[in-house]
Amino acid sequence: MAKHGKVKKYSKQHFVAKCYTKSWCDPESANNPKLEPFIWQFDRNGNNARAKSPVKLFTETDIYTLPLPDGGRDLTLEHGFQQLENMFARVRKLRIEKRKPISAEDATTLHFFVATAHARTAAYRDHHRAQFARLREKVEALSKDFADATEEQKVNMRRIPNIAIERGQSITLDNIKMMEDFPIQQMLAPTLRAVLPIYEGMSMAILCTNDDIGFITSDNPVTWFDPEGYKRHALHRSPGLAMKDIEVTLPLTPHHCLLFTHKNNFQGYIDISTDTLDQLNHRHVQHCHEIFISRRSSVKDIWFQPIEVPEDAWERRFPS
């Protein structure tokens, strides 16, 4: 509630788009006029199945809102996301679900949707908030050390170069606090500038299945996965878009999953086997933050099984 009892508009914001998750509504609820359509929601370990409306799923109050000095609310991101979601929903309904060719304009919409879906989640917010909190603590400690230093020590400390944010700028404690408090709002634009050119240069395929459960998705729906990462030391396994084997996946519906890859042989619509579907669902379950969703109330044990360490894994080639 706002002042004087007025309800704040656009305060309940979906960090995973409602238009996206509604495709996972249980078909029996979606086709029954007496029921409100619902999705099956599970804890990360596959337990605690419960039905939930997509309207109430994956929301936080003002997760994208930027407070203004006068007490107002900057809703630029919320409105921008709504426009992009409408464009995505049209591409999914009119192109992907009908297996029609994806135009250059459609591809651009998908690139933007994947990039924002990756950078707008609560998991993304919490991760970067923790990173900037650690940086703030270090800067505050340095400020205290400077205040307590001798004049000679202060002269030497002033010779340390500033941390650059953009060319010609340096980061201040206020900048860091702003990044810590509002990481999504502050980081979305530079994130898009970094990832969109890479997505545009990657091959794009739509993986398809007729399985009744199909693809699951989650509160962290975009997955970056390097299938060759296990061959590297654990410190160097974090996936990056420059890696030649990187696979970026986003389930689009229970029957379609978007794939970006640097491999040219993955293009168009590709029907996949049940084994491949299970591997992808295993990947997406392991990547979720707290919750994954499905169109059905059942899960498969294979989604939660530990992966056996391959013979050519780093740990086996270089045992400690």
Whether the pLDDT of residue 156 is over 80: the answer is no
**What is the reported pLDDT for 161?**
65
**What is the reported pLDDT for 236?**
87
Entry pTM: 0.90
Task: Give mean pLDDT, residues 301-319.
Answer: 91
Task: Give mean pLDDT, residues 230-241.
Answer: 91
Whether the pLDDT of residue 200 is over 90: the answer is yes
Whether the pLDDT of residue 223 is over 70: the answer is yes
**What is the reported pLDDT for 32?**
80
Whether the pLDDT of residue 4 is over 50: the answer is no
CA 81 to chain centre: 14
Provide the pLDDT confidence category of residue 141 given band limits of 50, 70 and 90: confident
Provide the pLDDT confidence category of residue 158 given band limits of 50, 70 and 90: confident
Of 15-29, 152-166, 258-272, which range is least confident? 152-166
**What is the reported pLDDT for 10?**
81
Name the residue with higher pLDDT: 165 or 232.
232
Task: Give mean pLDDT, residues 155-172.
Answer: 64
**What is the reported pLDDT for 59?**
96
CA–CA distance, 24 with 22 (Å, rounded to integer): 5
